[in-house]
Structure 1
Amino acid sequence: MHDIRLIRDDPAAFDAAMQKRGAQASSADLIALDARRREVLTEVQAGQARRNEASKAIGAAKAKKDEATAQALMAEVADLKARLPELEAEEARLGADLEAQLAALPNIPAADVPQGADEEDNQLVHERGTRPDLAFPAREHDAIGPALGLDFDTGVAIAGARFTLLRGPAARLARALGQFMLDRLTMLHGYEEVAPPLLVRDEAVYGTGQLPKFAEDLFRTTDGRWLIPTAEVSLTNIVREKILAEAELPLRFAALTPCFRSEAGAAGRDTRGYIRQHQFDKVEMVSIVTTDASEEEHERMTQAAEATLDALGLAYRRMKLCTGDMGFTAARTYDLEVWLPGQGRFREISSCSTCTDFQARRMNARYRPEGEKATRFVHTLNGSGLAVGRTLVAVLENYQREDGSVVVPEALRPYLGGLEVLTPR
């Protein structure tokens, strides 16, 4: 959510930022709407003050037996009482219209974010790790997986397209990966483990920016709740409508949850395999920090996700997303892309974003700096640490052997009772 006062203060900068994001927005239209709202509000406040003043004057006139003045004042009060509800309704309508227009606009990109249309314009930051040197033609995960319990057919039979059933070795590997990731974040990187609700109210998904613009990407229950598309929604809303002491920050939360996405905008993409599902597990990181700490926190969070890939021995690269590929609420996003030898390319496995105060304004989440009376909006950050299903895909493809078995990365073996190899059935 944008602050209309900041738009009034520097409309040219706002217009330039929206143009960079490819958003259809005009500071002049927003400022004009806000000016009309404030004009009506001033009229409402003046009318309320005059109504109160005239009401008191009626009693004084009656005390003086000045019936003519009393009657004139009573007529004025009656007129104000009839007029004020119309003005108040108009002010509320203008305010709601302004909020709706502001809520539909994406966050302002950070100065270092490259301008571009799509993923082709993203910038490589660095590449890490060693790609496996397989002595045989690499197979994709959907060829390796079925013999290890990645049951696509049964998942579709039970729930429809983009659902998969995991059995035996695949199910154990997925569980091990989730626990491994969560343990690293909580034990090595200072995140607090959270088991959040998977169903949330409108206010929660509005606060993190999924509503109203991206409702079609979500699943909604018959009683009006939303299935979370990511634990970011639940974790970020922990501070909704709160005023925190500066000493309480930073807050760092991590959760392993199922996530649910309709993939409305992904028709025809990744219809094979386990890359793009309606239901998937993900370990999510969320940080709540002061305004001057978000830059450092963004790097810290991204490095935490990278460290998990390092521990698993997976080759990856960090990409800085351009304005056209960046999420709605983000001011800057780093994507981590893991190497998949079966596909012969890098695929996204984590996104780490700083949202500055964009989400905090929507949630009214603030903190009070030490020694100050005024409050400020917190800065929020979120990142995948990692997507469990895509990491499972990466393990299958990178650690595959010619006979269809898959070597278990050393870091995961304690989570699988010392098991060193997943053997096909």
Structure 2
Amino acid sequence: MLDITLLRKDLDHVVARLLTRKNPQAFLDVDAFRALEGERKTLQTRTEELQSQRNSLSKQIGILSGQIARFVATEDFEQADFNKAQVEHNKNKVAEIKDELDRSAARLEVIQAELHTLLLAVPNLPHESVPVGSDESGNVELRRWGTPRTFDFPVKDHVDLGERLGLDFETGTKLAGSRFTFMRGPIARLHRALAAFMLDIQTREHGYTECYTPYVVNADTLRGTGQLPKFEGDLFAVKKGGQDGEPVPDTQALYLIPTSEVTLTNVVRDEIVAEAELPIKLTAHTPCFRSEAGSAGRDTRGMIRQHQFDKVEMVQIVHPEKSYEALEEMTGHAEAVLQRLGLPYRVLALCTGDMGFGATRTHDLEVWVPAQNAYREISSVSNCEAFQARRLQARFKNAQGKNELVHTLNGSGLAVGRTLVAVLENYQRADGRIDVPAALQPYLGGADVL
């Protein structure tokens, strides 16, 4: 969530920066925001005036009440009666002011809630270093690693290569529908080996703590990292039965996680951590569930775009002054996996129009996919600065003893299914067998060919 003071200080500038993202898109109802802000300012000014009047009247009541006993003692009953009447008048005025203050407070609460709702739909501001562009064509290549292999035989794609190894789309479709995959035998072992290999690199070499997280979460958890309310259509909701057949209220809705970024980042929700605990580095291997609502007709063949896929996620919670250093570090952590596997890739800086909702800057890693003769995304590493932390109220106590929002980062280390695709296609032989990268062989009982 954006800091509302940014909009209050220079709304036009913030809107102009937001419009460098996908445009046109209604990120913020500017007229509604201005109207609510105007009313909020008026109410707060009036509240301050009323509180000042109430304080003045209360002080007068105290003085007048104290004088009454003295006037009675001197038998100045006329003045005593006057003071009593004035006290009663002032008390009535204080009661009227209290009623107005209560009404103002109630209205302010509604306004703040409406402003909060508006802000929940507003994406993060792109960092000044992010290239401006309307879509993926505006992304900037930062570097490449490795040289795509030249084949002296017709290249097969992972669907054909995987079939004899146990990659079964027909059974996946029978069990769950399109964009689901069933694996058995060698391909299932390779998939498991890749996940274990990735976890070992991130935990043993890069200092992440391995976690096991829920695959089903509540709405608060998804709001904390920005998936709700804006992207509810991309999520799989889980229906939970109530007692005695009673329906469960929507407030208790549960969702399958779209990524373990959600669960890992939420561990600091409503927490104040010590500065010495930063950075917090977490990783997890989980399935991810996405409806792919905005990608109908894209990548319908094979494993590139699935409703269920596995990912090894990296999350860092860091000091605000360290987040861009952490972004470079995490990009390198994802690259290390591809380099160990000997898979050619490139690193892109995403432009403003291609970045995700919560990111201020994103680096995408794209691996070479021979059958498509193209680089395809296999990891996305993003710095969200304080955007998620503000929603989560995730803070640390700084050197001055004040609570300050942390910065959060997330990235894939890597998407397991897409890595499997890349291994199959880059290491294929003319006879359809697959050479096993040396780094994976210990995870497959020493096998060097599948």
TM-score interval, normalised by the smaller of the two chains: over 0.9
- 2:372 counterpart SS class: coil
Shift of 1:32: 5.3
Q: Which residue number corresponds to residue 319 of structure 1?
A: 348
Shift of 1:26: 7.5
Is contact 1:185–1:191 with CA below 8 Å preserved after alignment? yes
- 2:2 counterpart SS class: coil
Between the aligned partners of 1:203 and 1:317, the Cα distance in structure 2 is 36
Structure 2 residue ranges without an equivalent (≥5): 69-80, 241-252
Cα deviation 1:378-406 (Å, max 9, x = unaligned): 11111000000111111111111222221
Q: Which residue number corresponds to residue 176 of structure 1?
A: 193
- 2:389 counterpart SS class: helix
Q: Which residue number corresponds to residue 166 of structure 2?
A: 149
Alignment TM-score, normalising by the size of structure 2 = 0.87
Is contact 2:29–2:118 with CA below 8 Å preserved after alignment? no
Cα deviation 1:198-230 (Å, max 9, x = unaligned): 222222111111111111111122241121100
Q: Please say if 1:344 is aligned against 2:373.
A: yes
Q: Which residue number corresponds to residue 298 of structure 1?
A: 327
Paired residues, number: 421
Between the aligned partners of 1:112 and 1:74, the Cα distance in structure 2 is 60
Shift of 1:30: 3.8
Match of 1:33 among 33, 36, 52: 36
Match of 1:167 among 161, 168, 184: 184
Is contact 1:11–1:28 with CA below 8 Å preserved after alignment? no
Between the aligned partners of 2:329 and 2:263, the Cα distance in structure 1 is 21
Provide closer, same or farther for how the CA distance between residues 174 and 394 of structure 1 changes in structure 2, counting only shifts above 3 A. same
User: In the TM superposition, what are the counterparts of 1:17-32 in structure 2 within 5 Å?
Assistant: 17-21=17-21, 22=23, 24=26, 25=28, 30=33
Is contact 1:15–1:26 with CA below 8 Å preserved after alignment? no
Match of 1:399 among 423, 427, 430: 427
Cα deviation 1:246-303 (Å, max 9, x = unaligned): 2111111111011111111111111111111111110000111111111111010001
Is contact 1:144–1:396 with CA below 8 Å preserved after alignment? yes
Q: Which residue number corresponds to residue 440 of structure 2?
A: 412
Match of 1:215 among 219, 232, 257: 232
- 2:299 counterpart SS class: coil
Bigger CA radius of gyration: 2
Q: Please say if 1:198 is aligned against 2:215.
A: yes
Shift of 1:86: 2.7
Q: Which residue number corresponds to residue 388 of structure 1?
A: 416
Shift of 1:356: 1.1
Cα deviation 1:86-128 (Å, max 9, x = unaligned): 3222111211121222221111111121111111121111111
The one-letter code sitting in structure 1 at the alignment partner of 2:104 is: L
Is contact 1:7–1:31 with CA below 8 Å preserved after alignment? no
Cα deviation 1:351-379 (Å, max 9, x = unaligned): 00111111111111122222x03232111
Of the structure 1 ranges 402-411 and 46-55, higher mean CA displacement relative to structure 2 is found in: 46-55
Q: Which residue number corresponds to residue 250 of structure 2?
A: none
Of the structure 1 ranges 173-182 and 73-82, higher mean CA displacement relative to structure 2 is found in: 73-82
The one-letter code sitting in structure 1 at the alignment partner of 2:130 is: V
Between the aligned partners of 1:47 and 1:194, the Cα distance in structure 2 is 53
Q: Which residue number corresponds to residue 16 of structure 1?
A: 16
- 1:400 counterpart SS class: coil
Q: Please say if 1:113 is aligned against 2:130.
A: yes
Shift of 1:79: 3.2
Of the structure 1 ranges 384-393 and 135-144, higher mean CA displacement relative to structure 2 is found in: 135-144
Between the aligned partners of 2:310 and 2:19, the Cα distance in structure 1 is 35
Q: Which residue number corresponds to residue 375 of structure 1?
A: 403
Structure 1 residue ranges without an equivalent (≥5): none
Q: Please say if 1:355 is aligned against 2:384.
A: yes
Between the aligned partners of 1:188 and 1:110, the Cα distance in structure 2 is 30
Shift of 1:55: 7.2
Provide closer, same or farther for how the CA distance between residues 77 and 10 of structure 1 changes in structure 2, counting only shifts above 3 A. closer
Between the aligned partners of 2:288 and 2:371, the Cα distance in structure 1 is 26
Cα deviation 1:122-172 (Å, max 9, x = unaligned): 111111112122221111111111211111011110111111111111111
The one-letter code sitting in structure 1 at the alignment partner of 2:373 is: G
Alignment TM-score, normalising by the size of structure 1 = 0.92
- 1:148 counterpart SS class: coil
Q: Which residue number corresponds to residue 260 of structure 1?
A: 289
Match of 1:250 among 279, 299, 308: 279
Match of 2:175 among 128, 133, 158: 158
The one-letter code sitting in structure 1 at the alignment partner of 2:307 is: H
Identity %: 52
Shift of 1:53: 7.3
Shift of 1:47: 4.5
Shift of 1:73: 4.0
RMSD (CA atoms): 2.3
